[in-house]
Amino acid sequence: MTCLRNLFAALRARAILLGDGFAALFKLVRLIFRALIGGKGPLRDRVLPVLTLPSSQLLAFAVLRAFLPNFVISKRLVTSYDNNGTAVVTRAADVIEVLDREADFAVVYEPKMRAITGGANFFLGMQNTAQYQHDTSLMRLAMRRDDVESVVTPLARRKAEEFASAHQTRIDLPQDLTLRVPAAIVSDYFGTPGPDEQDIIEWATILFWYLFVDLKGEATLEAKALVAAKNLRESIDASVAARKASGEQKDDVLGRALALQAGAPEFDDIAIRDNLIGLVIGAIPTISRASVQAVDQLLDRPEALAGAQAAARAGDENLLGAYVFEALRFNPINPVIYRRANRDATIAASTLRARKIPKGTLVFAANLSAMFDPLHIEAPNEFRVDRPWGDYILWGYGLHTCFGAYINRAVIPAILQPVLARPNLRRAPGSAGQIDGGGTPFPQHFVLESD
Ligand code: HEM
């Protein structure tokens, strides 16, 4: 009986996969057709903005999951990192396989990490080497898991309350809140305040853009990034020097890193600085963008918004988190994670969708698509707040899973709580109520109103 039930469930999931694929194909064709006949200007300018919307990405991935789950082409779509072709992997099992097979599918970031530090690699740019284990082990001693509950979340709550209360009925979410709280975490908890809040936000944003978003290798962006990197290096060097000169024994990340030097002399001031650079870049634009995109998705779903607001008013951060992270599933800050094949490697071996990925291919492991794969996730198109946490791939998977994963999960609901608790929360009229990146890939303005 169980066997028959399982067979039925397996067939049903495949039928959903195919049905979703056909429906998405139809919707995509209709969208493209409308863009073609509706707009003015060059073809590319009419179609591209439509295709890059998060909702269109979901449609495109539904088509690929059903009909072309793993595809490989010899064309280089990414020119900012060495490669000789492109692969896109869309089913959850295969996305997880790519990210799990770290020896075969390696991170690519090393050259840019070295450009940013002015020398050394940072652990996100390393494979699973002794150096990777050394650096992450020391940084985990400096940035402890139990700090999340005892230090970081209370700090985020306090700052969120303070910043939000200055903008009672109209708030520009990134500028007034979601950029400021992680900047405060970097300043007060990491121990690296920078010359001022705006500088540290600007440098981290440019550097994140350069490392992870700029797939074309834009020369002007690189030039700006190298200036930002120099400024950030000098600023963290100054924090290290000032701490040492003052003799202050502060129990923050910098203070603990310096204390670790007694047993690990190779963890010198430059090594500490380089590791902190990686954490600062990882922390600020990401937390802000995730917070903003989650609210944007909630505002598009009145029922979910009402649920999230009730949780916020009740002070239930766990339930609020369930709403926020489910909202983020529909528009995560990175829809794909990329790797490069270290050798010829076959993925999804022994299945009909097995594909050989030649050495040197840049592989896009589509985590957004994985979170909508009906073979892996129950009712993926529904907005649900009871999903197992393992359904979410919001900040990586495997060896390089986000170093701030536990911080993100606790801090994002804490940042949003004071705003989501507001009565009649809504978008400001017109373009002010839509996310504005101001020419960057990160939300700069997004105005909300309340009563
Ligand atoms: C919502 C906020 C965040 C998102 C969406 C995010 C996203 C990610 C993703 C996707 C990865 C994996 C990259 C890859 O495998 O190629 C990653 C890794 C990493 N993140 Fe985050 N991140 C966030 C917040 C943070 C914070 C707060 C910190 C610092 C405390 C941080 C530091 C790092 C570091 C150091 C790594 C590399 C981990 C390793 O190589 O083992 N991130 N993050």
61, 78: one domain: no
CA distances (Å), origin 282, targets 8, 288, 418: 44, 11, 24
How far apart CA 78 and CA 217 sit, in angstroms, is: 8
- What pLDDT was estimated at residue 2? 86
Q: From ligand 1's centre to the CA of 121, what distance in Å?
A: 16
Q: Which residue reads 């082409």 in tokens?
A: 73
| Structural domain includes residue 444 | no
Spacing, Cα 291 to ligand 1 middle (Å)? 15
> Within a domain: residue 431?
no
pLDDT higher than 90, residue 411 = yes
| Ligand 1 geometric centre to CA of 334 (Å) | 11
* pLDDT confidence of residue 108: 97
What angle in degrees, to the nearest 10, is found between the helix axes of 405-420 and 302-313? Answer: 90
Residue with tokens 């075969």: 104
- Chain CA centroid to CA 38, Å: 33
How far is residue 111's CA from residue 20's CA, in Å, rounded to a whole number? 40
- For 204-226, the pLDDT digits (tens) are 999 999 999 999 999 999 999 99
C-alpha span between 150 and 158 (Å, rounded) = 13
pLDDT reading at 401 higher than 80: yes
Q: Which one, of 33, 53, 52, lies nearest residue 43 by Cα?
A: 33
Q: Is the pLDDT of residue 33 over 90?
A: no
Asked whether residue 32 is domain-assigned, the answer is yes
Lowest pLDDT segment from 32-46, 217-231, 391-405 = 32-46
pLDDT of residue 39 exceeding 80 = no
403 lines ligand 1 (CB under 6 A): yes
- Considering the domain boundaries, does residue 441 fall inside one? no
**For atom 37 of ligand 1, which residue has the closest CA?**
124
Are residues 234 and 100 part of one domain? yes
Residues 196 and 274 in one domain: yes
* Cα dihedral sign, 261-264-267-272: negative
* Cα gap 201→193, rounded to integer Å: 10
Contact 380/374 with Cβ under 8 angstroms?
yes
Is the same domain home to 63 and 85? no
Q: At which of 67, 86, 118 does a domain end?
A: 67
**Predicted local confidence at residue 42, as pLDDT:** 77
Taking the C-alpha atoms of residue 60 and residue 21, their distance in angstroms, rounded to an integer, is 9
Instruction: Say which residues have a Cβ less than 8 Å from residue 368's Cβ, sequence separation at least 6.
Output: 57, 58, 61, 332, 335, 336
Q: Is 283 in the pocket of ligand 1 (CB under 6 A)?
A: yes
Nearest Cα to 389, choosing from 332, 295, 333, 326? Answer: 326
| Ligand 1 atom at minimum distance from 107 CA | 16
Q: Which of the 8 DSSP states describes residue 428?
A: P
The answer on 276 and 415 residing in a single domain is yes
Q: Which atom of ligand 1 is nearest to the CA of 367?
A: 10
256 found inside a domain: yes
Q: How many residues are present in the chain?
A: 451
Residues 72 and 62 in one domain: no
Report CA(395)–ligand 1 centroid distance (Å).
Answer: 6
Say if ligand 1 is within 6 A of residue 400 CB: yes
**Residues 6 or more apart whose Cβ sits within 8 Å of residue 305:** 298, 299, 425
Domain membership of residue 384 as a residue range: 68-422
Cβ contacts of 394 within 8 Å, gap of 6 or more: 290, 325, 328, 329, 332, 333, 367, 408
pLDDT value of position 325: 98
Specify whether the CB–CB gap between 339 and 439 falls below 8 A. no
What does the block give as tokens for 433?
């109520």
What's the total number of domains in the chain? 2
Q: Do residues 20 and 105 share a domain? A: no
Q: Are 21 and 153 in the same domain? A: no
436 is a domain residue: no
Name the domain boundary from 67, 90, 105: 67
Q: Are residues 55 and 76 in the same domain?
A: no
Same domain, 327 and 341: yes
- Mapping DSSP to helix (H, G, I), strand (E, B) and coil, where does residue 53 land? coil
- 220 found inside a domain: yes
| 60 and 186, same domain (yes or no) | no
Compute the distance from residue 282 Cα to the ligand 1 centre, in Å: 5
| Runs of H (alpha helix) within 314-448 | 317-329, 367-370, 405-420
Tell me which residue has tokens 């990686």.
Answer: 278
Alpha-carbon distance of 435 to 293, in angstroms, equals 8
Instruction: Please indicate, yes or no, whether residues 176 and 32 belong to a single structural domain of this protein.
Output: no
90: which residues sit within 8 A by CB, 6+ positions away?
61, 64, 65, 69, 70, 366, 369, 370, 373
State the sign of the Cα–Cα–Cα–Cα dihedral 253, 258, 262, 267: positive
Q: How far is the CA of 124 from the centre of ligand 1 (A)?
A: 9
Cα 158 from Cα 152, distance rounded (Å): 10
| Domain of residue 209, CATH code | 1.10.630.10
Predicted local confidence at residue 343, as pLDDT: 97
Stretch 363-385: mean pLDDT? 97
SS3 of residue 276 by DSSP: helix
Q: Which helix (H) or strand (E) holds 114?
A: helix 110-117
DSSP class of 74: S
Q: Whose CA is nearest to atom 30 of ligand 1?
A: 404
pLDDT higher than 90, residue 82? yes
306-347: pLDDT as tens digits: 999 999 999 999 999 999 999 999 999 999 999 999 999 999
Report the 10 Å Cβ neighbour count for 136.
18
| Residue 432 counted as domain residue | no
Q: How many CA atoms lie within 13 A of 29 on its CB side?
A: 6
Q: What is the pLDDT of residue 376?
A: 96
- Alpha-helical (H) ranges within 361-427 are 367-370, 405-420
